[in-house]
Amino acid sequence: RGMGRPCVSGAGEIRIDEKAGTFTVRGRTFKAGEVITIDGSRGEVMDGAVRMIEPELTGDFQTLMGWADGLRRLKVRANAETPLDARTARGFGAEGIGLCRTEHMFFDEERIQAVREMILADNESGRRAALARIAPFQKADFVELFTIMAALPVTVRLLDPPLHEFIPHGDAEIDALAAASGLDAAKLKRRARELHETNPMLGHRGCRLGVAYPEIYEMQVRAILEAALEVKRVSGEAPTPEIMHPLVAKGQEMKFLRELTDRTAEAVFAEAGDRVDYLVGTMIELPRAALRADDLAEYAAFFSFGTNDLTQTTFGISRDDSGRFLQAYMDKGIFEHDPFVRLDQEGVGDLIRIAAERGRRVRADVKLGICGEHGGDPASIAFCEGAGLDYVSCSPFRVPIARLAAAQAALAAKRSHTSC
Ligand code: PEP
Ligand code: MG
């Protein structure tokens, strides 16, 4: 969605034979080169080229959006990490970036080797050496993002995914890394085995990376703030970065991360002889984080509800595997909608309401947003309006829908208030 490309994942019925260059579904085999059409919203793969219409953003569209903007209370931001995404988002009227997933910046060809060296290093100095090579790239990314977004808020999420996602798979890839980096292949293989996890999505990911290897988050915080200072120097306008820690569960974790962030910020400001404002906050992606939001609010100036993970962890359903059985649940009426598409307002929604209430009890002005895919779904946006969130953040291409849905939700709320 982020790139404006459709994708169907978890299509368990499709059997792919990579070697033969074919896939088979419902008794029909498709060969490489045959045309299929993908509807990413409905999760459909269709035979042949379906006739499509390119949406036109006409003057009428701008007028409608203008009306919507005049009515809505919720701000609308975009999930974006590349300059192209950020420009697209601004073009669609996003009022900031609500989620910049920094791991996407690590996969670039120029960087991936240093990233892999960092992950496979078995000590801090090895990690720091590799991080020093990644830092200039990270800083340059942020300079570009902050420049495009001008003074609009930009929420940057620190490294989140399980490290194994970056590890070269198979001996051949590790041998290639060893040859390119001069590192010992046998040692790299041993380390790759050590990093293997049985259940990586509940393993060493999110802020657990920053707790175990603080130097990773220090590098990222430094890159964000150095970039903000540079943009301020060049443009005269200071960006306000919002530094976001993922997968936090406990107040003590948030305290550690807040201190790490502030300590690093002060070091950067002292070196530069200048400062910028910044916020430190957290994602709420775990039921415990929602229930103990008051603990987190002691150290977090904002919460962003990561409802992809929060749905996953509330139901205990892996979002990557749900495609295998969710349809059966929907066919039997157990689920009305896929909860990864439309927010489960009863369960996940309750956790959001609890977190908002408990967070505000400790920090009245804690900023509240949502950045899971639900942030672009109209029914879920209506829920966010009711729960009193400050903003929704969604993929750039969904921003216009979100602006309209936010206006409709505000109107509906006003009407029900009036009729009471
Ligand atoms: C989320 O969990 O809702 C989220 C935005 O993070 P990600 O999708 O990157 O896990
Ligand atoms: Mg998440």
Q: How far is the CA of 161 from the centre of ligand 2 (A)?
A: 8
DSSP classification of residue 286: S
Answer whether 102 contacts ligand 1 (Cβ < 6 A): no
Residue that is written with structure tokens 């088979």 in the block: 24
- Is 233 a domain residue? yes
The residue type found at 33 is G
Range of the domain at 325: 59-98+147-160+226-419
Same domain as 298, residue 364? yes
Answer whether 371 contacts ligand 1 (Cβ < 6 A): yes
Residue count of the chain, please give it: 420
- Is 173 a domain residue? no
Same domain as 63, residue 28? no
Strands, E assignment, 313-420? 367-370, 391-394
- Is 203 a domain residue? no
- Is 174 a domain residue? no
Answer whether 162 contacts ligand 1 (Cβ < 6 A): no
HSE-up (13 A, CA, CB side) for residue 320: 3
Closest protein CA for atom 1 of ligand 1: 306
Closest CA to 403 of 107, 67, 2, 138: 67
Answer whether 98 contacts ligand 1 (Cβ < 6 A): no
Same domain as 91, residue 3? no
- Is 44 a domain residue? yes
Same domain as 85, residue 4? no
Contact between residue 351 and residue 374 where contact means Cβ atoms under 8 Å apart: no
- Is 220 a domain residue? no
Same domain as 94, residue 9? no
Same domain as 259, residue 237? yes
Answer whether 241 contacts ligand 1 (Cβ < 6 A): no
Residue that is written with structure tokens 């829908």 in the block: 401
Answer whether 306 contacts ligand 1 (Cβ < 6 A): yes
Closest CA to 293 of 357, 337, 204, 380: 357
Q: How many domains does the chain have?
A: 2
- Is 112 a domain residue? no
Atom of ligand 1 nearest to the CA of 79: 5
Same domain as 413, residue 288? yes
Same domain as 153, residue 32? no
- Is 235 a domain residue? yes
Same domain as 412, residue 264? yes
Q: How far is the CA of 379 from the centre of ligand 2 (A)?
A: 21
Answer whether 205 contacts ligand 1 (Cβ < 6 A): no
In the chain, DSSP finds a helix count (H) and a strand count (E) of 16, 13
Q: How far is the CA of 77 from the centre of ligand 1 (A)?
A: 15
pLDDT of residue 420: 58
pLDDT of residue 106: 87
Same domain as 155, residue 44? no
pLDDT by residue for the chain (420 residues), tens only, comes to 666 788 887 788 899 999 999 999 999 999 999 999 999 878 889 999 999 887 777 899 999 999 999 999 999 999 999 999 999 999 999 999 999 999 988 888 788 888 888 988 888 999 999 999 999 999 999 999 999 999 899 999 999 998 878 887 788 888 888 888 888 888 888 888 888 888 999 999 999 999 999 999 999 999 999 999 999 999 999 999 999 999 999 999 999 999 999 999 999 999 999 999 999 999 999 999 999 999 999 999 999 999 999 999 999 999 888 988 998 999 999 999 999 999 999 999 999 999 999 999 999 999 999 999 999 999 999 999 999 999 999 999 999 999 999 999 999 998 887 765
Closest protein CA for atom 4 of ligand 1: 306
Same domain as 156, residue 35? no
Q: How far is the CA of 306 from the centre of ligand 1 (A)?
A: 5
pLDDT of residue 383: 98
Adjacent-strand bridge partners of 174: none
How many whole angstroms separate alpha carbon 285 and alpha carbon 49?
Answer: 39
- CATH number where 388 lies: 3.20.20.60
In 10 A of CB 390, how many CB atoms? 18
CA 103 to chain centre: 9
pLDDT of residue 2: 63
Same domain as 153, residue 10? no
Answer whether 174 contacts ligand 1 (Cβ < 6 A): no
